[in-house]
Structure 1
Amino acid sequence: MVNEALRRVPNSDGDANIDKVNQIRDSLAVMGDNNTAFSLPQPHLHRTKLCDMKDVELDPDYVNQREQLKEVVASIIRPKIVQGKFLNGKEFVLFFEQILDALNQGEIPSTGSLVEVFNKGILERCLKLYTEQMANIVLPMQGESLQKAHGEQRDAAMEVFGEQHFGRRHARKSVDQLEAEIEQVYKDIRLANEYQSSKLCEAMYTRCEDKMDELQALRLPSMAKFNAGFLQCNQSFERECVGPSNSYYQQRMMKMLGKSKSLFIKEYNQRLLKWLVVFSLVMVVLGRFVIKFFLVELGAWILFVFLETYKRMFWSDESLYFNPVWNSFLATWETLVYNPILDLDRWAIPICVVAAIVVVNWRCYKRMRHGPRWSLPVYRNHKDRSN
């Protein structure tokens, strides 16, 4: 009877419900391969009064089959022997109490424990499915996106477990275990996401910090170039620094950029003024001894005198650097030094080298064109005079 009840039902139409029932039959067949079943008909229609009825009032078929069941049970049972000793009634009760305690403590497999063993393989497959799907996520990513992906993959894994697990009441422990293991895997993924985010944002922060230090040391100070580098660094940081560490490094980034810009603005006017004074003196020397062109020397002297006089016309740096004349000069300077066509800070040295080569060649060509000049007078001898 057991084998007949657990026999698989054909499912040519592919009905999902029949597949589930067949799966349950297969599971019960594995656990119930040594069981015996016996069917009894209903004794009487009034089932609530069965205890008060006599055998003559019950269904004759029930009475006959009940007697057959007694014979079957009597043929199956054997005297209980424990450690080679037959147990009497009291000893059997004591032994039975020990068995109950062992069952309650989980030392003896029960229906619930067998269900958990059966569901263990399904649990491992569902956990593997969740882990593989989460491994395809590219880290780092925003915490909200990671939480959303975790929720989707967790629901998918729980849905697969719900379709394949066996039992309801006893499977609850397996469900709780699966949820706990998924949360543990998700915790590890969150830690990995935080690490990758921190690593990436730290690299971006260091790169921007180096960029700001580089802009602080410009040979030709240019506010336009500093602002362009400042904006580029800020945009690249916002674009590439993602994940849970973004907010922390965003605050550090803003603080560092603010300090760098304040320091650059503070030294910008002073450096520019000093650089122009040095440039005017250099042009005086070049105009006098190298180029030997009066207008170059004159223009350099005029620039030098103007700068020295201009500094002494104001009582404070604020009145000096915020003067409309100085601002007009700064606008011209920024246009020449940094523009879409030429970055003079990068090409200043090559341009100076080329200019020096051109000047030297020009002077050599000019000297060769006018011929050599003798530094000492040339005298003719007396014979040449007499002739």
Structure 2
Amino acid sequence: MYVKKRGQLKELVASIIRPKIVQGKYLNGKEFVSFLEQILDALNKGEIPSTGSLVEVFNKGILERCLKLYSERMGKLRLPMPEQSLQDAHERSREEAMKAFEEQHFGRHHAKKSADQLDEEMKEVFKNVIMTNEYQSTRLCEALYTKCEDRMDQLQVLRLPTMAKFDAGLQQCNQSFEQECVGPSKANYEQRIMKMLGKSRSLFIKEYNQRLFNWLVAFSLVMVVIGRFIIKFILVEMAAWILFIFLETYTRMFWSAESLYYNPVWHFIVSAWETIVYSPILDLDRWAIPIACMAALGILYCRCYGRRKHGSQWLLPLYNHQKGGSNRPRSD
């Protein structure tokens, strides 16, 4: 009975199974075992796609799209910008990219690996953005620093020395730097520009009093000439002489001009000078020459026009020539 049933089972198995055909050749037992060993080796080496590898292939495409989304968001930033603002933008873009990945990924275990890979690649992109931000910040702050330095050099050589204009230019330069210089390089350049502005102001103050003294001496002499020969107003001439005598005699009496700078009279003169030379309405350092030319032309025109109108005087002195006389009186 057993033998009979065994024979029936063999016939059934033989009717069900089919020989393995590889490349058109039927395999026997040894060849089939060798074929199975090759398949197992290929599976172990990952040469034959498995369920996990197929999931990774699908997730790779999703990962690339999410990374592109992150890169586009970071690429729209206007650099340079403060470090904290850049960090906040990175966090927002990262959350958006990770959210998109969570909505589209396949699997769990393999998706976690892809998510970790996405996070690492976003960190690499963020490092490049940080380097770009540092470069742009350095470039911007360096340009502003150079601009302020040039401005300070211009203020050192004002035609009419005025502390008010120098301080206004210094304050404007400092405010412009504070508002426009942003990014990680700002702290470093803040120290540099404060040091540079301090040196420029010290140098200007050192030469300010001496230049102002020379200007006042020249101004007093010019006003003497104007009051005596042009407008012929004795009060102007006297005031100019008093100023000239004060400046010259004080320095002779006290040996040096530096001692003058601590005198209350000098402080009053400096205050009056600053008020006249520089104000929000008029900057004489810029308009002194045009105003002086216009005033000279106006005075000359008034004198010439007035004499022609009355007809009593000539523009230039004339002399009468007489044959017999040695004395030649000057004509009107």
Q: TM-score range by the shorter chain?
A: 0.7 to 0.9
The CA deviation string for residues 58-87 of structure 1, in whole angstroms up to 9 with x for no partner, is xxxxxxxxx9xx97x955x64264795736
Amino acid in structure 2 at the alignment position of 1:312: R
From 140, 147, 150, the equivalent of 1:200 is 140
2:254 matches 1:310: no
2:193 matches 1:277: no
From 224, 230, 242, the equivalent of 2:164 is 224
Report if the CA contact (8 A) 1:215-1:226 is conserved.
yes
The CA deviation string for residues 222-241 of structure 1, in whole angstroms up to 9 with x for no partner, is 11111111111111111111
From 373, 376, 385, the equivalent of 2:320 is 376
Q: Which residue is 2:203 aligned to?
A: 263
From 293, 310, 320, the equivalent of 1:353 is 293
Q: Which residue is 1:185 aligned to?
A: 125
Return the TM-score normalized by structure 1.
0.71
Q: Which moved more, 1:172-181 or 1:286-295?
A: 286-295
Q: How does 1:92-171 map to 2 (within 5 A)?
A: 96-171=36-111
- Alignment partners' CA distance in 2, 1:139 and 1:378: 90
The CA deviation string for residues 232-268 of structure 1, in whole angstroms up to 9 with x for no partner, is 1111111111111211211111111111111111111
2:184 matches 1:240: no
Report if the CA contact (8 A) 1:80-1:87 is conserved.
no
Q: Which residue is 1:21 aligned to?
A: none
Q: Which residue is 1:79 aligned to?
A: 20
Return the TM-score normalized by structure 2.
0.82
- Alignment partners' CA distance in 2, 1:325 and 1:192: 58
Amino acid in structure 1 at the alignment position of 2:313: G
2:302 matches 1:362: yes
- Report the CA distance shift for 1:134/1:378 in structure 2 as closer, same or farther (over 3 A): same
Report if the CA contact (8 A) 1:81-1:87 is conserved.
no
Q: Offset at 1:325? A: 2.2
The CA deviation string for residues 275-315 of structure 1, in whole angstroms up to 9 with x for no partner, is 11222233344445555555544433332221112223435
- Report the CA distance shift for 1:83/1:212 in structure 2 as closer, same or farther (over 3 A): farther
> Any stretches of 5+ residues in structure 1 without a counterpart?
1-66, 380-387
SS at match of 2:164: helix
Q: Would you say how many aligned residue pairs link Structure 1 and Structure 2? A: 308
Q: Offset at 1:161? A: 0.4
Q: Which has the higher contact order (CA 8 A, sep 6+)?
A: 2
- Alignment partners' CA distance in 1, 2:16 and 2:214: 117
- Alignment partners' CA distance in 2, 1:272 and 1:207: 27
Amino acid in structure 1 at the alignment position of 2:200: S
- Alignment partners' CA distance in 2, 1:159 and 1:232: 47
- Identity score, percent: 63
- Report the CA distance shift for 1:94/1:314 in structure 2 as closer, same or farther (over 3 A): farther
- Report the CA distance shift for 1:250/1:97 in structure 2 as closer, same or farther (over 3 A): farther
- Report the CA distance shift for 1:81/1:325 in structure 2 as closer, same or farther (over 3 A): same
Amino acid in structure 2 at the alignment position of 1:375: Y
- Report the CA distance shift for 1:174/1:74 in structure 2 as closer, same or farther (over 3 A): farther
- Report the CA distance shift for 1:277/1:317 in structure 2 as closer, same or farther (over 3 A): closer
- Alignment partners' CA distance in 1, 2:207 and 2:33: 97
- Report the CA distance shift for 1:87/1:344 in structure 2 as closer, same or farther (over 3 A): farther
Q: Offset at 1:347? A: 1.3
Q: Which residue is 1:250 aligned to?
A: 190
